[in-house]
Amino acid sequence: EADIYQTPRYLVIGTGKKITLECSQTMGHDKMYWYQQDPGMELHLIHYSYGVNSTEKGDLSSESTVSRIRTEHFPLTLESARPSHTSQYLCASSEFENPESGSPLHFGNGTRLTVT
């Protein structure tokens, strides 16, 4: 089982609050990702990072920010939570890979966020 941890597992918060979802991995992986997953839908990439001080936006990034100050840590921050942010947030990591052969993503168990 992969060593990637997300906290909290569940979070219920009111509209307008600032929240930070934590993600840490102990595998020394350079690449890290944040995905959003709604029931019955495909995962959507929010942010990703190739390494320390490297962050890039994905498809759904406009209302959140990330930082990568340490290799093992990749927190996601919502400055002002809204009900539309209610979702499952999955963090993942992978080794740098041969683009042809690929390298598997190692996922955390997610944070289930509910914004009331």
Partner 1 sequence: KNQVEQSPQSLIILEGKNCTLQCNYTVSPFSNLRWYKQDTGRGPVSLTIMTFSENTKSNGRYTATLDADTKQSSLHITASQLSDSASYICVVSDRGSTLGRLYFGRGTQLTVWP
Q: String of b and e for 12-38 (b: at least 16 CB within 10 Å)?
A: ebeeeeebebebbbeeebbbbbbbbbe
HSE toward the beta carbon, residue 90, CA cutoff 13 A: 16
Work out how close the CB of 33 gets to partner 1 at its nearest, in angstroms, rounded to a whole number. 9
Q: Which residues bind partner 1 (CB under 8 A)?
A: 2, 4, 31, 40-43, 45, 50, 90, 92, 97, 99-110
Work out how close the CB of 80 gets to partner 1 at its nearest, in angstroms, rounded to a whole number. 27
Cis peptide before 104 (omega within 30 of 0): no
Work out how close the CB of 79 gets to partner 1 at its nearest, in angstroms, rounded to a whole number. 25
Closer of 105 and 115 to partner 1 (Cβ): 105
Closer of 5 and 17 to partner 1 (Cβ): 5
